[in-house]
């Protein structure tokens, strides 16, 4: 479990600090103060099957992050900006009749889809003035705005991945704390049983028949046999409780380590916030 936690934290920190945009590996870096910089990239275009299965020209950019994280980060950002997309064919999300100055200073439609894998994803962006009246990808003003917007997505994706990783680690931390609390309750119950069993043993020993030279002949052997069996049973019960207590203490020790490891991982992830 410890190795798993440290691996998760390591992946989170690595993906946040070192994942780079595939189209230009030197476009971003962190300085000594961990400050983010994003240089402009030349815009890229290609032909793909569009939201209505027609062949269209799109702007695109590829990031070295899981494609699902890229898609989620973009949709989350657009939702915060008041834009809700409608799912269409070829995994495009349509944003119709919007005013979105980051991309254009007019009312227009735009479509986004993300394709890729766990290692990288490509964002395809298509713009239209309505229906199939698609905007020319060679338009300089559009190229500049789209280039700025697409490259600027990198920090949004990093922040999304960071947030998801942190939330996941916090959830694991809370689960570990619950488990530790549960184990401590079990420990208290066992200790309570031990205390009661010790009282029972002391009470029994105080009333137990003690043979001596004066009463040896008058004591019923069956009574001695029953009392010995009772003493053996009490000792066996006590030994079982001792074993349970030892076992639960070992589990508590392991659970405390898990809590500490998750706490450390949370602090490391927080310190790597982009």
Question: What does the pLDDT read at residue 89?
Answer: 87
Q: Do 71 and 31 meet the contact criterion of CB atoms below 8 Å apart? A: no
Q: Do 56 and 162 meet the contact criterion of CB atoms below 8 Å apart? A: no
Question: What does the pLDDT read at residue 211?
Answer: 78
Distance CA 274, CA 271 (A): 9
Question: What does the pLDDT read at residue 191?
Answer: 97
Residues of the chain with pLDDT under 50: 1-41
Q: Quick check: helix, strand or coil at residue 100?
A: coil
Question: What does the pLDDT read at residue 43?
Answer: 66
Entry pTM? 0.74
Question: What does the pLDDT read at residue 196?
Answer: 96
Q: Do 44 and 61 meet the contact criterion of CB atoms below 8 Å apart? A: yes
- Hey, CA dihedral for 221, 226, 229, 235, is it positive or negative? negative
From the list 195, 121, 132, 190, the residue with the least C-alpha distance to 160 is 121
Question: What does the pLDDT read at residue 118?
Answer: 95
């Amino acid at each position: 479990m410890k190795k798993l936690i440290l691996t998760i934290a390591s992946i989170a920190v690595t993906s946040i600090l070192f994942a780079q945009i595939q189209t230009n590996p030197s476009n971003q870096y962190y300085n000594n103060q961990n400050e983010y910089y994003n240089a402009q990239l030349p815009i890229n275009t290609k032909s793909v099957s569009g939201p209505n299965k027609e062949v269209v020209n799109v702007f695109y950019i590829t990031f070295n992050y899981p494609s699902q994280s890229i898609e989620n980060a973009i949709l989350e950002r657009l939702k915060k900006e008041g834009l809700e997309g409608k799912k269409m064919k070829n995994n495009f999300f349509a944003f119709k009749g919007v005013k979105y100055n980051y991309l254009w200073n007019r009312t227009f439609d735009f479509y986004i889809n993300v394709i890729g894998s766990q290692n990288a994803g490509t964002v395809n962006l298509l713009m239209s003035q309505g229906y199939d009246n698609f905007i020319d990808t060679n338009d300089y003003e559009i190229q500049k705005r789209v280039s700025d917007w697409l490259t600027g997505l990198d920090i949004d994706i990093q922040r999304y991945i960071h947030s998801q990783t942190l939330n996941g680690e916090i959830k694991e931390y809370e689960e570990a704390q619950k488990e530790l609390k549960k184990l401590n309750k079990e420990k208290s119950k066992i200790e309570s049983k031990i205390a009661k069993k010790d009282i029972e043993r002391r009470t029994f020993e105080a009333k137990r028949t003690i043979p001596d030279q004066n009463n040896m002949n008058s004591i019923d052997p069956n009574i001695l046999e029953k009392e010995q069996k009772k003493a053996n049973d009490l000792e066996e019960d006590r030994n079982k409780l001792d074993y349970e207590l030892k076992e639960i203490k070992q589990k508590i020790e392991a659970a405390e380590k898990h809590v500490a490891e998750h706490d450390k991982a949370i602090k490391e992830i927080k310190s790597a916030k982009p």
